Structure 1
């Protein structure tokens, strides 16, 4: 009877002075709607978001939601057990006919608004109302129990039931798959880096071999077998600004003079520094398009050592052949420094920077030991080079295999011009 007092609501009057009717409230458990769980949003985010950090965070949120649902279910189950116990007490009370009228009277006398009214006089009417209330309570409890069971969900309830555990498991599998893919990509990248490093090491090893192992241990010469506008040699060293220079070279011309042993051009000036001899013309030294004729005589098919020096101070120049000075002068491009950053070509005269060669000015023959310094060599140094008692290399353009390339059919051949000159002229100085 106490339980009924707690669960019954007061009935409202239907009219003035008329009998009052009792209405009983029902216990209603409202489950969480499936749509409120935002499963579609979660699934869309799971399909669109590939970042494993976001997936792990989502899985943690779902795990917390499952724990809350479990706590709610346990609370509802405890409530059902309490209500069931009290219901049993009420049912057992109905069986005791003596105690029921007394309890009923006590309850209704304490709060008369709960019952039909003051006109209720018989215990039979009270028992009937109590039975109805118990029936309503039992029905509400059963409805609550059914809804809780649906909320818990079993594997066999159909495809429409939303199961958080399944979604959580799917997210876990996705996270593991992403981690495996990341590990595979990391291994693949490491493999590629190792291959690249191996390739770089191989190239560096090859470059080191080429730098320390000369291809021509006995010296080499450049050979230009015919007069063309495409055979030439290229000095790879970068030319710096020079206020003085000395250029030395071994030459063996075949026909029509020496042509152009070397030419250096810069942007805007193709004749920055040129040594040339045209057919039936004297040897000329050009600096910034200024010309000086050199008193040199070069017979055909013989190795000859030539050196020319110059300084911007008053434009003083000197010309050597065979280690001996053959002439000197001044006023050649005075106070004009040789510009840096140009192209140094062997065997051809440049009409533009690095090209536009003229076959009539090409060297036909052989060339070797071309060296360029940014100072004026002393006469003794020039003589030592011509007598093969010195093998000094130019500090601006040294004669080394890896600093000189050939193009257009010109070739490199293993030969020491000093030994060749001694064989052709036994009276020449020995090394």
Structure 2
């Protein structure tokens, strides 16, 4: 019997019996011409056991395939959540999306590894199955262990995803705090510049000819049928440029005082031009006043407190429109902008003032002697009402160190 059984097992090994049809064993067992007596009964029993084993293996394979599909579905769902998390943390630092991508690749690799392991153990289970009394069932595939391992991997991915979310939130919080501190710092600096005290007065400095360096006077200019504008200036280059310009939405050249290179100074009212007989010198402080009225378009030009020229016919009947922007150091081609560096002022300005009437010659002379005229003042020189931009600065000191006198 032992010799016979060994031969049978050898034939079974060579023919890969798990791949054969169980009916072949039944046919051989039912053929009484091949075996007789006790051998025939033993063979029949062995064939029946083998057929039952094959059926059990088939059921186990189906069960394990269902398990694999369920676990794959769980992993796919986890990967989908990780993809959603990756979209949620797209505003975090660059390392966060890369981390989610690596976790996703890790999960996919884990699934492929588990499927390969299951297929390998299925193949091993098929090869290990065979007939024989006392052989016992095929060795376990460890599907429960694989399921636990997969669940552990999914749980690990969940923990890492939560950690990634917390890290991204922390980074966002740090960035928001940094931005908030920076904004507070900027506000503090701007407030410090605005509230800076100049007991000896202040002046504006425009060190270069640019299209972005200017000062803005934060005064509401009303409707004016007449005006006088006065200022102290110290040019630093030939051609004064544009010490002052006032623009409204309808007209950027509503009121402009400028001097191009190698050209006389000009006063523009509603884009109408009058030539001013003024002579500016570089490097020294000079006091300038210009007045105008809509009655006949009469104008006067003063330098150093003295009348240098006058005329009429400059935009007669016009009135200076309210609600515009009063800019120092630049000529406006649009409301509050459109600057041209060739028309920019280079040097220093101080004591810029605007009145809603034509000042008398005596009042202009008193201003040139550092007195003040407050009656009818629309714009007065005040630290809190002047804002500088683009590199223009407020510096201590100005031509008039004392302002105790007043003229009405």
Q: What TM-score results when the alignment is normalised by the length of structure 2? A: 0.50
TM-superposed CA distance for 1:258, in Å, is 1.3
Partner of 1:334: 316
- 8 Å contact kept, 1:371–1:394: no
Partner of 1:377: 359
| Moved >3 Å (runs of 4+) | 389-394
Matched, 1:219 2:198: no
Equivalent residues in 2 for 1:93-112, closer than 5 Å? none
Partner Cα distance (1:319, 1:363) in 2: 19
Partner of 1:364: 346
Distance 1:392 1:218, change over 3 A: farther
Partner Cα distance (1:242, 1:264) in 2: 12
User: Residue 248 of structure 1 aligns to a residue in which SS?
Assistant: strand
User: Residue 378 of structure 2 aligns to a residue in which SS?
Assistant: coil
Partner of 1:409: 391
Partner Cα distance (2:193, 2:341) in 1: 33
Matched, 1:355 2:325: no
User: Residue 383 of structure 1 aligns to a residue in which SS?
Assistant: helix
Matched, 1:285 2:243: no
Partner Cα distance (1:419, 1:343) in 2: 29
The CA deviation string for residues 318-351 of structure 1, in whole angstroms up to 9 with x for no partner, is 0000000000000000000000011110000000
Matched, 1:306 2:288: yes
Partner of 1:153: none
Aligned residue among 373, 377, 385 for 1:395 = 377
Distance 1:221 1:394, change over 3 A: farther
Matched, 1:273 2:224: no
The CA deviation string for residues 218-255 of structure 1, in whole angstroms up to 9 with x for no partner, is 11000000100000000101111000000000000011
TM-superposed CA distance for 1:419, in Å, is 5.0
TM-superposed CA distance for 1:397, in Å, is 1.1
Matched, 1:295 2:282: no
- 8 Å contact kept, 1:243–1:311: yes
Distance 1:268 1:216, change over 3 A: same
Partner Cα distance (1:234, 1:210) in 2: 14
- 8 Å contact kept, 2:357–2:376: no
- 8 Å contact kept, 2:363–2:373: no
TM-superposed CA distance for 1:215, in Å, is 1.2
Equivalent residues in 2 for 1:31-430, closer than 5 Å? 215-390=197-372, 392=374, 395-419=377-401
- 8 Å contact kept, 1:210–1:402: no
The CA deviation string for residues 361-402 of structure 1, in whole angstroms up to 9 with x for no partner, is 000000000000000111111000101233648721111000
TM-superposed CA distance for 1:256, in Å, is 2.1
TM-superposed CA distance for 1:263, in Å, is 0.4
- 8 Å contact kept, 1:385–1:392: no
Q: Name which of structure 1's ranges 357-366 and 410-419 shifts more when overlaid on structure 2.
A: 410-419
- 8 Å contact kept, 1:371–1:393: no
Partner of 1:161: none
Q: What TM-score results when the alignment is normalised by the length of structure 1? A: 0.48
TM-superposed CA distance for 1:315, in Å, is 0.4
Partner Cα distance (2:339, 2:376) in 1: 26
- 8 Å contact kept, 1:348–1:357: yes
Partner Cα distance (2:258, 2:216) in 1: 17
Partner Cα distance (2:199, 2:360) in 1: 28
Instruction: Give the gaps of 5 or more residues in structure 2.
Output: 1-186, 403-408
Partner Cα distance (1:305, 1:276) in 2: 15
Partner Cα distance (2:361, 2:331) in 1: 28
Equivalenced residues, count = 214
Partner Cα distance (2:297, 2:355) in 1: 17
User: Residue 381 of structure 1 aligns to a residue in which SS?
Assistant: helix
